[in-house]
Structures are given as C-alpha cells and as structure tokens.
Amino acid sequence: DTGVSQNPRHKITKRGQNVTFRCDPISEHNRLYWYRQTLGQGPEFLTYFQNEAQLEKSRLLSDRFSAERPKGSFSTLEIQRTEQGDSAMYLCASSLIRNTEAFFGQGTRLTVV
Amino acid sequence: ELKVEQNPLFLSMQEGKNYTIYCNYSTTSDRLYWYRQDPGKSLESLFVLLSNGAVKQEGRLMASLDTKARLSTLHITAAVHDLSATYFCAVPILRTTGANSKLTFGKGITLSVRP
C-alpha cells in the first residue's frame, strides 16, 4: 500500500492521559500535514512539516500538543493531559512541495472519556 | 484570514435529477480542491482545479473554478445513491513563491440521494 498510513485507527483514553499517533506519508512526499476534524466540521489545520522542519503551527495547537518528524519520513503527534475537547478525528496528509494536492490517511479517531 | 463557505450544508437529492452545489472563498487563491468523505472515513480527492476557468469532469460530477468570483461549483448529473456523502472544498492560501500551503476547508455539504 503506497498511501498515507495512520496508526492507531482508533484510540480511547481517559482524561488526563497522554496519547501519541503516528503517520507514515507517501514515500518521497516532502510535506506532511496534521489536521483535526470534529463532527460536522471540515478538517482544521494543526501543523505541517517540510522534510523534518516544522514550518507552521496553528493557534489551535495548544502547548499540550507536540508534533515531530525526526528524519523527514514518518511523523508523530502527541497530546499530553488529554481533555474531552480533544476528542476528534486526527488526519494526516502528505504532498510534494510544489504540488498542493494533499493525500489523506484514514485518520485516527480519538475518544477521551 | 481565509474563509471558505459551502452551501447548502445539506442537500436531499432525488435520483435521476441534476443539482449544483457551491463553494466560495474570501481571499485570493489560484486553485481549489474538492474532496469526498463517506461517514467515518477519510477524505478522497475528487478534483484539483488549478486555474481560472478550469473544468474537470468525472462520471456524474463536474467541477469548475472562477477565481475572479472566488467561486467553485460542483454539478451533479442524474444523481444516484452512490453519490451520497459529504463533499468538501478546500483552498490553499496563494503564495508568491509558488510553494504549496495548508488547505482551508469549508464545512462540507452532505448529499443524500433518495429513490
């Protein structure tokens, strides 16, 4: 499978716990994006990387959120001290630098109880 | 701040009839994307519209872009049940460097096709 891969697909966690999600982009895609989607809304941008550099972070990304892409390949998104408001689908997408078409993974659905 | 608006937010369609849905956006951009999302699933790329006047067709769907009016339309011909899904348009902020940027999405339009 050469698409964007995200793990896990579903995560249920208790409030206050930390969670980490992983995204493997399409190989050779330099850009990697994280989006969050809540019920009935479109995806909202969180952050993106060009290779290993994190180039932009949304104001939505509180200090409890951190993302990394250490070798310019896969990325992780960590949420510390989860809150119920963090419950959402977390989507990862990748693209080439000069091609704005982004390809999305299947998403990780987070439920904070 | 770039705003993307889609309307209507929900559309009940009768099988076999034609419909048009709309996406407009608030600041300059030279391209627009349409995605489809089935319930509980991720986003599937439908159309990439890269210039003013661009028109793309795939099966019963046809998308067009008017960058001067900041408007894209998605026309559905002879609706069938398989088209039931939520459709998002997304717009990148235009950058003079030509490099891509993050996408801003509309809220999506949920289409439901009834017999």
Residue A100 to residue B31, Cβ atoms within 8 A? yes
- Checking if the pLDDT of B96 tops 80, the result is no
pLDDT at A97: 77
- Residue B29, min C-alpha distance to chain A (Å): 12
Best of B4, B23, B43, B86 to substitute, by most chain A Cβ atoms within 10 angstroms, is B43
> Which residues does residue A76 pair with via DSSP β-bridges, in sequence order?
A22, A68
- Checking if the pLDDT of B99 tops 70, the result is no
Residue B102 to residue A105, Cβ atoms within 8 A? no
**Which chain A residue's Cα is nearest to B107?**
A42
- Strand order through the sheet with A5-7: A5-7, A19-24, A75-79, A65-68
Residue A45 to residue B102, Cβ atoms within 8 A? yes
- Checking if the pLDDT of B98 tops 80, the result is no
- Residue B20, min C-alpha distance to chain A (Å): 20
**Tens-place pLDDT, residues B32-79:** 999 999 988 889 999 999 888 889 999 999 999 999 999 999 999 999
Residue with tokens 């960058």: B67
Identify which of A40, A45, A100 has the shortest CB distance to residue B100.
A100
Exposure class string for B39-69: b at 16+ Cβ within 10 A, else e: eeebbeebbbbeeeebebeeeebbbbbebee
Best of A100, A103, A104, A110 to substitute, by most chain B Cβ atoms within 10 angstroms, is A100
Which residues, other chains included, contact B62 with Cβ-Cβ below 8 Å and sequence gap of 6+? B55, B56, B74, B75, B77
Along the 113 residues of chain A, how does pLDDT read in single tens digits? Answer: 579 999 999 999 999 999 999 999 999 899 999 999 998 899 999 999 999 999 888 888 889 999 999 988 999 999 999 999 999 999 999 988 776 688 999 999 999 99
**Strands B109-114, B10-14: pairing kind:** parallel
Asked if A25 is an interface residue toward chain B (Cβ–Cβ < 8 A), one would say no
Q: Output the six-digit token pair for A106.
A: 């299947």
pLDDT at A64: 96
pLDDT at B101: 67
Exposure class string for B25-38: b at 16+ Cβ within 10 A, else e: beeebbbbbbbbbe
Of the pLDDT bands very low, low, confident and very high (cuts 50, 70, 90), residue B100 is: low
Asked if A104 is an interface residue toward chain B (Cβ–Cβ < 8 A), one would say yes
Of the pLDDT bands very low, low, confident and very high (cuts 50, 70, 90), residue B110 is: very high
Is residue B92 within 8 A of residue B98, CB to CB? The reply is no
Is residue A5 within 8 A of residue A107, CB to CB? The reply is no
pLDDT at B85: 96
Is residue B72 within 8 A of residue B22, CB to CB? The reply is yes
pLDDT at B94: 62
pLDDT at B102: 82
**Residue A44: closest CA among B74, B75, B88:** B88
Of the pLDDT bands very low, low, confident and very high (cuts 50, 70, 90), residue B30 is: confident
pLDDT at B52: 84
* CA pair distance A98, A2, nearest whole angstrom: 20
Q: Output the six-digit token pair for A98.
A: 């000069």
Of the pLDDT bands very low, low, confident and very high (cuts 50, 70, 90), residue B95 is: low
